[in-house]
Amino acid sequence: MKKIVFLLFIYSILFSYGCKKKQLIAGGQRDVIVVLAEQDDWFKTKDALENALGRDVFTPNRETIYELMHGLPQNLPSYIYSKNLILIGYVGDLSEASNLISTLLTDKAQEMIQKKEAFIFEKENPWAFAQYLLVIASPGKPELVDIIERYKDVIFDYFENASYKRAKWLIYSGGREEEKEEKLKNEFNFAVDLPIGFYWMREDSIKTFAKFVRRYPYRLFSIAWQENMVGSISWNDACRIRDSIGALYFENDVIVKNMTEGKRVEFLGRDGYKLEGIWENNERVMGGPFRTYFFNDTLQKRFYMIDIHVFAPGKKKWFYLKELEAVASTFKTYPLKESKQ
């Protein structure tokens, strides 16, 4: 692989704390990122970091995905078990941030910074389980704020990936509903890894729909299917199908079309279409975010719709959607000849 100057390269961070004891589980809120930085560096980079990580989404009210909290590097013991950490600073100076960077990064990683080959390094579970640390370091030029602005989308994506992994671990930490999983496979020739606590609310007598709910807050995971594959799906097609499912199985939920977007995606190795937006129910005065995937399964010659949506008033919904995305990622199909009649 060619080395390209200024290309972001994620390099493993090696820690020199000797043999590790059994790790504690990281604590605190999963939407808070502690930024360990010298006071001047924090003032210089705060706006760039907030632009990278404090993004607004509508779910259906405006939410900021990540909140930033400043901590001085010398106060690391106060934050060492936080879920999300960023350490920013310069290599080779006399600051506490520099000392911490030199302690955390390998000699090779520091050499790469000096040569301006890499500036951003990640580590999972450095001091606690389900913890994520990102180190952003500079040799002096380019400035830290320039690095953050240049790689803001990459920085966001790495925290999103870490949040997804943590959400998946959390939703499955209590175990799985293995009997329900086996029943799904036997009756319908598909399966998902179903976390403990999801109730199977099947209400389709012709067996083309299954819904699973976990309370509180409400997280809903649904699968609908038909025996024949369909052609290309448009935004209008997807909205119509999602609203028809809402009318039949979600107590007349409808999607808010002016707050719903669609795009073609790959879903578990299949070409598909994704709707993402806001659902509402005017009769019950409810609403929240949803994501729906539409795709053909060539193994079974079936058309599937997988829907996830959340009702969590007063709570941030983004991370509950991550949990449901993790469940959706386990979907798998089996040849129809295995069906047990």
* Contact status, residue 279 vs residue 341, Cβ threshold 8 Å: no
Whole-number Cα distances in Å, 318 to 23, 114, 221, 289: 27, 38, 15, 8
**pLDDT tens digit sequence for 24-47:** 999 999 999 999 999 999 999 999
**pLDDT tens digit sequence for 279-311:** 999 998 899 999 999 999 999 999 999 999 999
Q: pLDDT band for position 202 (50/70/90)?
A: low
pLDDT of residue 204: 66
**pLDDT tens digit sequence for 244-267:** 999 999 999 999 999 999 999 999
Q: What is the mean pLDDT of residues 41-57?
A: 96
Can you tell me the distance from the alpha carbon of 321 to that of 326, in angstroms, rounded to the nearest whole number?
9
Q: Which single residue is written with the structure tokens 């959400």?
A: 167
Please indicate whether residue 201 or residue 161 has the higher confidence score (pLDDT).
161
pLDDT above 70 coverage of the chain, percent = 91
Please indicate whether residue 242 or residue 205 has the higher confidence score (pLDDT).
242
Q: pLDDT band for position 11 (50/70/90)?
A: very low
**pLDDT tens digit sequence for 224-251:** 999 999 999 999 999 999 999 999 999 9
**pLDDT tens digit sequence for 169-188:** 999 999 999 999 999 999 89
Bond prior to 216 in cis (omega within 30° of 0): yes
Can you tell me the distance from the alpha carbon of 252 to that of 288, in angstroms, rounded to the nearest whole number?
14
Q: Is the pLDDT of residue 153 over 60?
A: yes
pLDDT above 90 coverage of the chain, percent = 84
Can you tell me the distance from the alpha carbon of 133 to that of 48, in angstroms, rounded to the nearest whole number?
18
Q: Which amino acid is at 294?
A: F
pLDDT of residue 340: 45
Q: pLDDT band for position 6 (50/70/90)?
A: very low
Please indicate whether residue 16 or residue 267 has the higher confidence score (pLDDT).
267
Question: Mind listing the domains of the chain with CATH numbers?
Answer: 32-171 (3.30.379), 177-338 (3.40.1000.10)
**pLDDT tens digit sequence for 89-145:** 999 899 999 999 999 999 999 999 999 999 999 999 999 999 999 999 999 999 999
Q: Which of 15-24, 109-118, 320-329 has the lowest mean pLDDT?
A: 15-24
pTM (predicted TM-score): 0.88
Can you tell me the distance from the alpha carbon of 279 to that of 297, in angstroms, rounded to the nearest whole number?
26
Q: pLDDT band for position 207 (50/70/90)?
A: confident
